[in-house]
Amino acid sequence: MRLSLRFILPLAAVLVLIAYSVLPLVDKLIERWFIRDLDMRSAVIANSVREPLLERLGSGSNARIVNYFNRITQDERLFAIGFCDVAKGELIATKTFPKDLKCNDITAVENLPARMLSGKRGMLHVTVEPIEAEGSRIGKLVFVHDMSFIQRRSAETRKFFFYFFIALGCIVSLITVVIAHMSRRGWVEGTRALLRGEIIRRPGGKKTATTPELQPIARDLRMLIRELETEYRPRDENQVTWTPETLRSILKTELRGEEILVVSNREPYIHVKRDGRIEVQRPASGLVTALEPIMRACSGTWIAHGAGSADRETVDSNDRIMVPPEHPSYRIRRLWLSTKEEQGYYYGFANEGLWPLCHIAHVRPTFRAADWEQYEAVNRKFAEAVVDESGTDSPIVLVQDYHLALLPRMIRNRLPNATIITFWHIPWPNPESFGICPWRAQLLDGLLGSSILGFHTQFHCNNFFDTVDRLLEARVDRETFTISYGGLQTAVHRYPISIDWPPAAEFTAKPVETCRTDVRERLGLPPDHVLGFGVDRLDYTKGILERFMAVERLLELQPEWRGRFSFIQIAAPSRSSIGQYKEFQVQVRDTAARINERFGNEGYLPIILKIEHHEHEAVYEYYRGVDLCFVSSLHDGMNLVAKEFLAARDDGRGVLILSQFTGASRELPEALIVNPYDIDQCAAALHVALTMPTVEQRDRIRVMRGLISEFNVYRWAGRMLLDAATMRRRGRILERSSAE
Ligand code: F6P
């Protein structure tokens, strides 16, 4: 609109100017034409009246001459006629002849082709024609023409020209605006594509990487964007202490206080009924562990499936509830799913299909069309809730995990200006593995509705690039880490997730020594009993069986540990209605029982298995009270248990044994890195851990704690939000340049 006005207004001004300077010229021209016409008419009339006039002059009757003249002046344009008789010096004229027009004056103007006089009917034009008889001049005929018709015509012509110029102006403006818009769109698209480094499709359909006319502009714009980015880059990421406060300030300054919407399947607080009372539970979930402190810091709304037995009773009329219960600072918006929906979407497609597909744990994925239908429908339901909860048309939405792969595209379709940051918490497999999913293209399309797509490791990013490259018609740019697909660009980056740092004071309030004592007392173990520890959801990807087998092998190979060493395994029941999980639970129980049978005795259990949910405080007591922590996942996006264990050990003691197939192993090489499939190696690692000198434990722990303190969860979220802020700024610059 602004652009159109900028074209139309100057154009209109120019046209008005033209109209005003042209119209007087047109007037003059018309007048000149008509006067010439009148002069010619006068000459014609003079010729035709000559004979009758001479005949009437000869009769000596002036009255006859006047009558004759009166008849001639019936013509509307001929106002008066007079004859100046040279011999008698008299004027014979119609009554209408102007009084102030004397024969002498007329002589003076005789040679003039025309003359204007003031008359009562407006402007008059006088033409003089000599009358001769027998070779000598006897007088002159004076014709006085009424000029008002010329003025009438002139006014009409002016009106015509006026409307003509207006119409012309409108047509020219319209054409100009249409052409300007068309070329501007082309220009903007071209420049945008160039800025993204894309190939431009020429009108002929031919692809070309170079558009010479746009290159300099694109170069300038790129420079400008870079300058602005440097100018606005709030701080050097490394120089910042990443705290909740840092995040809040990023939100305020970089994202103009935009509200954050988090969307995940799992909710951070579950209300359950137990013994007639309502209890609040925090689920065993890495996702919740990471995001909860972020939401405490940033407020906003967390949209999730209300799965607790008392969830409906605790929300308000809009299905919302403020949390954390002890200090409400953000809101959960609960979404209700029917049993059929939950079965198809969560248990079926997400956890029997995508989960085993992405974790190479040698469990065959199951894909059912009916599950896919529910998956789609529930993703749509989440999209509705996002639109519902979003206070603006450009919210910042953090979409979490494999349950919601279609959601980014659905949000993008409804809120095109939203900044959608999707984080994939589990591994991304190679294209061959992913390619077996019947709905692979739909899942990729869904994810590529995101502005930013995050994985824990570069390895998973690369797998994703390979998968898109193989399965979609998209442009994968491994230099800028972007994918252009369907006119949209998605940045794909590595954002290793982490934990709250420093950990909440209540988790580390109990001294380590007290934790050691309490844990052993509770288990009926002597104070010097050596303890290993593992805590996971009861999931076949966690390598729990392999862990137990490693303990068994240790006791086989190093009998000195029998009776002195036990391994505590907390396993939170998870996805229990899925057959594979049920079977797995049986296997875990059986394996623990078998090993306990083999090496245990009254008062001694090599494996202490606790299949039940434990709250954070209880888990932290174990972290602080044990001698080693063993994370043996067969495949894991990150694994936050490893990081939590290190965070809990502010005494600098303890050893972490970590599977090489976790994302965490890339960040924590000071742990004892093992291949969980190699049982002997794991048993050896257990022995090394149990005999590691205190100094070495301290050295290793110090380095790893240092890393986590630097790369905590606020930095994880902060980096994504800063990238989102840069993206939004870049978008605004492009927006502004296209509005120019
Ligand atoms: O690892 C993927 C993940 O979504 C984690 O983020 C979380 O720890 C876990 O799965 C939760 O599983 P569920 O929500 O099925 O209990």
How high is the pLDDT of residue 32? Answer: 82
What's the gap in Å between 116 CA and the centre of ligand 1? 102
How high is the pLDDT of residue 8? Answer: 65
Whether residue 287 has its Cβ less than 6 Å from ligand 1:
yes
Whether residue 712 has its Cβ less than 6 Å from ligand 1:
no
Whether residue 401 has its Cβ less than 6 Å from ligand 1:
yes
How far does the chain reach from its first CA to its final CA, in angstroms? 11
**180 vs 187: CA distance, rounded Å:** 10
What's the gap in Å between 431 CA and the centre of ligand 1? 23
**89 vs 498: CA distance, rounded Å:** 123
What's the gap in Å between 345 CA and the centre of ligand 1? 14
Q: Give, as one character, the DSSP assignment of residue 443.
A: H
Sheet (strand 488-494) strand order: 320-323, 330-335, 301-305, 260-263, 396-400, 419-423, 452-455, 488-494, 482-485, 475-477
3-state SS, residue 577: coil
Half-sphere exposure of 345 (CA within 13 A, CB side): 24
3-state SS, residue 496: coil
How high is the pLDDT of residue 256? Answer: 83
How high is the pLDDT of residue 503? Answer: 93
Residue 732: how many other CB atoms lie within 10 Å: 11
On the question of pLDDT at 518 being above 60, the answer is yes
Is the model more confident about 736 or about 701?
Answer: 701
CB 636 within 8 A of CB 659: yes
What's the gap in Å between 658 CA and the centre of ligand 1? 19
Written as one string, the DSSP assignment of 573-593 is: --STTSHHHHHHHHHHHHHHH
CB 444 within 8 A of CB 438: no
**71 vs 63: CA distance, rounded Å:** 12
Cis peptide before 502 (omega within 30 of 0): yes
Average pLDDT over residues 325-336: 96
**97 vs 79: CA distance, rounded Å:** 8
pLDDT in tens, 32-58: 888 888 888 888 888 888 888 888 888
3-state SS, residue 624: helix
pTM for the full predicted model: 0.71
Q: Give, as one character, the DSSP assignment of residue 359.
A: S
Q: Among 173-187, 218-232, 365-379, name the one with the lowest average pLDDT.
A: 218-232
What's the gap in Å between 650 CA and the centre of ligand 1? 27
What value does the mean pLDDT of the chain take?
Answer: 89
Residue 272: how many other CB atoms lie within 10 Å: 15
What's the gap in Å between 575 CA and the centre of ligand 1? 10
Whether residue 350 has its Cβ less than 6 Å from ligand 1:
no
φ, ψ of residue 425 in degrees (nearest 5):
-80, -10
Whether residue 574 has its Cβ less than 6 Å from ligand 1:
yes
Atom 12 in ligand 1: which residue has the minimum CA distance?
A: 285
Mutate which of 282, 345, 352, 425 for ligand 1 pocket (most atoms within 8 A of beta carbon): 425
Query: Which residue, chain included where needed, has tokens 């704690």?
Result: 705
On the question of pLDDT at 207 being above 60, the answer is no
Q: What are residue 260's DSSP bridge partners?
A: 396
Residue 252: how many other CB atoms lie within 10 Å: 12
Is the model more confident about 410 or about 191?
Answer: 410
393 falls in which pLDDT band (50, 70, 90)? very high
Read off the tokens for 37. Answer: 């016409």
Average pLDDT over residues 710-734: 92
CB 379 within 8 A of CB 414: no
How high is the pLDDT of residue 740? Answer: 65
Q: Give, as one character, the DSSP assignment of residue 662.
A: B
Whether residue 400 has its Cβ less than 6 Å from ligand 1:
no
CB 655 within 8 A of CB 686: no
- Work out the widest C-alpha separation in the chain, in whole angstroms: 167
Whether residue 539 has its Cβ less than 6 Å from ligand 1:
no
Atom 6 in ligand 1: which residue has the minimum CA distance?
A: 287
Written as one string, the DSSP assignment of 69-121 is: HHHHTTSTTEEEEEEEETTTTEEEE-TTS-TT--HHHHHHTTTSS-EEEEETT
Atom 14 in ligand 1: which residue has the minimum CA distance?
A: 266
123 falls in which pLDDT band (50, 70, 90)? confident
How high is the pLDDT of residue 35? Answer: 81
Q: Give, as one character, the DSSP assignment of residue 561.
A: G
On the question of pLDDT at 208 being above 70, the answer is no
Q: Is the dihedral of CA 414, 417, 423, 429 positive or negative?
A: positive
Atom 8 in ligand 1: which residue has the minimum CA distance?
A: 285
φ, ψ of residue 726 in degrees (nearest 5):
-60, -45
Written as one string, the DSSP assignment of 375-425 is: HHHHHHHHHHHHHHH-SSSS-EEEEESGGGTTHHHHHHHH-TT-EEEEE--
How high is the pLDDT of residue 1? Answer: 57
Q: Among 59-63, 231-235, 468-472, 711-715, name the one with the lowest average pLDDT.
A: 231-235
How high is the pLDDT of residue 257? Answer: 83
How wide is the angle at C-alpha 530 spanned by C-alphas 529 and 531, nearest 5°? Answer: 115
How high is the pLDDT of residue 288? Answer: 92
How high is the pLDDT of residue 166? Answer: 75
Comparing CA positions, the residue from 291, 486, 488 lying closest to residue 401 is 291
- What is the Cα 187 distance to its own chain's centre? 21
**391 vs 397: CA distance, rounded Å:** 12
Whether residue 425 has its Cβ less than 6 Å from ligand 1:
yes
**531 vs 628: CA distance, rounded Å:** 7
Determine whether 660 is exposed, middle or buried from the number of CB atoms within 10 Å of its CB (0-12, 13-18, 19+). Answer: middle
Is the model more confident about 9 or about 145?
Answer: 145
Whether residue 575 has its Cβ less than 6 Å from ligand 1:
yes
Q: Are strands 396-400 and 419-423 parallel, antiparallel or unpaired?
A: parallel
pLDDT in tens, 596-655: 999 999 999 999 999 999 999 999 999 999 999 999 999 999 999 999 999 999 999 999
Written as one string, the DSSP assignment of 220-286 is: HHHHHHHHHHHHH--S-GGGS---HHHHHHIIIIISTTPPEEEE-SS-S-EEEEETTEEEEE--S-H
On the question of pLDDT at 392 being above 60, the answer is yes
- Measured CA to CA in angstroms, residue 116 lies from 45, 70, 112 at distances of 20, 22, 11
How high is the pLDDT of residue 711? Answer: 96
How high is the pLDDT of residue 666? Answer: 97
Comparing CA positions, the residue from 210, 232, 541, 152 lying closest to residue 360 is 541
Is the model more confident about 592 or about 64?
Answer: 592
Q: Give, as one character, the DSSP assignment of residue 559.
A: G
What whole-number percentage of the chain has pLDDT above 90? 62
Whether residue 403 has its Cβ less than 6 Å from ligand 1:
no
Average pLDDT over residues 229-243: 68
Give, to the nearest 10 degrees, the angle between helix 407-414 and helix 440-447. Answer: 50
Mutate which of 270, 285, 613 for ligand 1 pocket (most atoms within 8 A of beta carbon): 285
Is the model more confident about 548 or about 221?
Answer: 548
Read off the tokens for 680. Answer: 């002997």
What's the gap in Å between 589 CA and the centre of ligand 1? 22
**33 vs 46: CA distance, rounded Å:** 20
Is the model more confident about 681 or about 220?
Answer: 681
Mutate which of 265, 346, 401 for ligand 1 pocket (most atoms within 8 A of beta carbon): 401
CATH numbers and ranges of domains, the chain: 2-152 (3.30.450.20), 249-494 (3.40.50.2000), 507-710 (3.40.50.2000)
**386 vs 451: CA distance, rounded Å:** 16
What's the gap in Å between 499 CA and the centre of ligand 1? 15
On the question of pLDDT at 117 being above 80, the answer is no
Q: Give, as one character, the DSSP assignment of residue 578.
A: S
Q: What are residue 90's DSSP bridge partners?
A: 85
- Measured CA to CA in angstroms, residue 634 lies from 61, 533, 637 at distances of 137, 17, 10
Contacts of 668 (CB under 8 A, 6+ apart): 642, 643, 646, 656, 658, 704, 707
CB 307 within 8 A of CB 335: no
How high is the pLDDT of residue 51? Answer: 86
Determine whether 212 is exposed, middle or buried from the number of CB atoms within 10 Å of its CB (0-12, 13-18, 19+). Answer: exposed
How high is the pLDDT of residue 213? Answer: 67
How high is the pLDDT of residue 111? Answer: 42
Whether residue 491 has its Cβ less than 6 Å from ligand 1:
no
**689 vs 118: CA distance, rounded Å:** 124
pLDDT in tens, 525-550: 999 999 999 999 999 999 999 999 99
- Measured CA to CA in angstroms, residue 253 lies from 246, 330, 450 at distances of 10, 20, 23
What's the gap in Å between 166 CA and the centre of ligand 1? 69
What's the gap in Å between 287 CA and the centre of ligand 1? 6
Element (H, E) at 538: none
How high is the pLDDT of residue 200? Answer: 46
194 falls in which pLDDT band (50, 70, 90)? low
Whether residue 636 has its Cβ less than 6 Å from ligand 1:
no
What is the atom index within ligand 1 of the atom nearest the CA of 637?
A: 1
SS (H, E, C) 42-63: HHHHHHHHHHHHHHHHHHCCHH
Read off the tokens for 231. Answer: 């100018």
What is the atom index within ligand 1 of the atom nearest the CA of 284?
A: 8
Q: Are strands 270-274 and 277-281 parallel, antiparallel or unpaired?
A: antiparallel
**283 vs 268: CA distance, rounded Å:** 7
How high is the pLDDT of residue 618? Answer: 97
On the question of pLDDT at 154 being above 80, the answer is no
Q: Is the dihedral of CA 527, 529, 530, 532 positive or negative?
A: negative
Return left, alpha or beta for 301; rule: phi > 0 is left, psi -120 to 50 is alpha, else beta.
Answer: beta
121 falls in which pLDDT band (50, 70, 90)? low
On the question of pLDDT at 496 being above 70, the answer is yes
How high is the pLDDT of residue 195? Answer: 60
Atom 10 in ligand 1: which residue has the minimum CA distance?
A: 285
pLDDT in tens, 45-97: 888 888 888 888 888 888 888 988 888 888 667 888 999 888 888 889 998 88
What is the atom index within ligand 1 of the atom nearest the CA of 401?
A: 4
Half-sphere exposure of 454 (CA within 13 A, CB side): 23
Is the model more confident about 432 or about 85?
Answer: 432
203 falls in which pLDDT band (50, 70, 90)? very low
